[in-house]
Structure 1
Amino acid sequence: MTYLLHTERLSLRPCQNEDLNSLHKLWIDANVRRFLFDDRQISCEQAQSFIETSTENFTNYGYGIWLFFENQNDLIAGFAGLLHSLQEAPSLIFGTCPSLWGRGYAKEAARTVLNYAFDVLDLERVIADVDEPNEASIRVLEAIGMSQTRRAIINERPLLYYEIHIYRH
């Protein structure tokens, strides 16, 4: 099965071992890690582990983390994907290179991943969580049709939880 996804402006493909340096650089960017890793600078080994887990999840479940690129460009513009959980529905994650913020790429990539989850994989539900101060990601989640279900304080940080059932285009 091919896991290549496309939109009018973006190409998405699963992350691979060869992407480690570029993806690690994105994930340790202060503007990205602020909300992605609770402002922790992850090691290269931790980034490698995320890539390996994603690769295994594509094999086992048909989803993982996609990298997205502006069409006709081979520089990573961001990432979007689904994290596997044994206890819950897959969890949507996404992020964009700060130099490309404001172009709607996160929304476009996240919507494409949801379309794939519901139309190809026949998933019934996808969840997400977001740091409450992360207004840009909250706007993305709401724009793609996700609804807030609850709020909690985790590790002294306010988190909002979202979900969506069978995505409507």
Structure 2
Amino acid sequence: MSTKRLELRPAGLRDLGVLVRHWNDPRVRRYLFDDREVDPRLAQTLLRDSEAGFARHGYGLWQVFLQDVLIGVCGLRRRGEERVELLYSLDPAHWGAGLAAEAARAVLAAGRRAGLKEVLIETDDGNVASQRLAERLGAVFEEAADGVRRYLVTLTR
């Protein structure tokens, strides 16, 4: 799947090494993994779940490339039976250029095509950049609890 500037390719187990390195950048994992080091087993589980998600639902995690260089990950992940969550991480060298929003819009469009009606976005209280991104994506604030802010994006527009 492509956008104006990006190419998004489904992530899988073959991408384990490069994604473990990406997710273990301290600036990347700060809010995504509660600032804990990403163990290869956790990454392997995320990638297996993503592959299963693509097979079952038509969505999962996509690697985000800018001019054939991996700059991040953006995708949708099921949270139980009821909810689907938007996840994203971007190499800090590319923060502030609108690339996370561009990737997220493409992923949300894929979710819409897969029949999703709404998507959850969770951000840590301190992650103001992600809160702004949620709002740019049209998400509506739902609640704050336990240091996490929850937003909901409606895809039926």
Band of TM-score, shorter chain: over 0.9
SS of residue in 2 equivalent to 1:127: strand
**Cα offsets for 1:51-95 (capped at 9, x unmatched):** 11100111111111011101x32x211111011122322100111
Structure-1 separation of matches of 2:156 and 2:86: 13
Question: Which residue number in structure 2 is paired with residue 19 of structure 1?
Answer: 15
What number of residue pairs does the alignment pair up? 157
The alpha carbon displacement at 1:102 in A equals 1.3
Structure-1 separation of matches of 2:65 and 2:156: 24
Structure-2 separation of matches of 1:142 and 1:110: 12
Question: Which residue number in structure 1 is paired with residue 141 of structure 2?
Answer: 148
Question: Which residue number in structure 1 is paired with residue 99 of structure 2?
Answer: 105
Question: 2:137–2:153: 8 Å Cα contact kept in structure 1?
Answer: no
Are 1:133 and 2:126 an aligned pair? yes
Specify whether residues 167 and 79 from structure 1 end up closer, same or farther in structure 2 by C-alpha distance, changes over 3 A only.
Answer: farther
Question: 1:7–1:108: 8 Å Cα contact kept in structure 2?
Answer: yes
The alpha carbon displacement at 1:166 in A equals 2.0
**Cα offsets for 1:81-123 (capped at 9, x unmatched):** 01112232210011101111111111100111111111x1121
Structure-2 separation of matches of 1:24 and 1:167: 34
What is the Cα-based RMSD across aligned positions, in Å? Answer: 1.1
Structure-2 separation of matches of 1:86 and 1:16: 21
**Cα offsets for 1:120-154 (capped at 9, x unmatched):** 1121111111001001111111101111100001x
Normalising by structure 1, we get a TM-score of 0.89
The structure, 1 or 2, with the larger RCO (C-alpha pairs under 8 Å, 6+ apart) is 2
Are 1:116 and 2:116 an aligned pair? no
Give the letter aligned to residue 98 of structure 1. P
Give the letter aligned to residue 52 of structure 1. R
Give the letter aligned to residue 40 of structure 2. C
Normalising by structure 2, we get a TM-score of 0.95
Give the letter aligned to residue 101 of structure 1. W
Give the letter aligned to residue 130 of structure 1. T
Question: 1:115–1:167: 8 Å Cα contact kept in structure 2?
Answer: no
Which runs of at least 4 in structure 1 moved beyond 3 Å after TM superposition?
A: none
User: Percent identity, aligned pairs only?
Assistant: 36
The alpha carbon displacement at 1:167 in A equals 5.0
SS of residue in 2 equivalent to 1:145: coil
- List runs of 5+ in structure 1 lacking aligned partners: none
Give the letter aligned to residue 81 of structure 2. Q
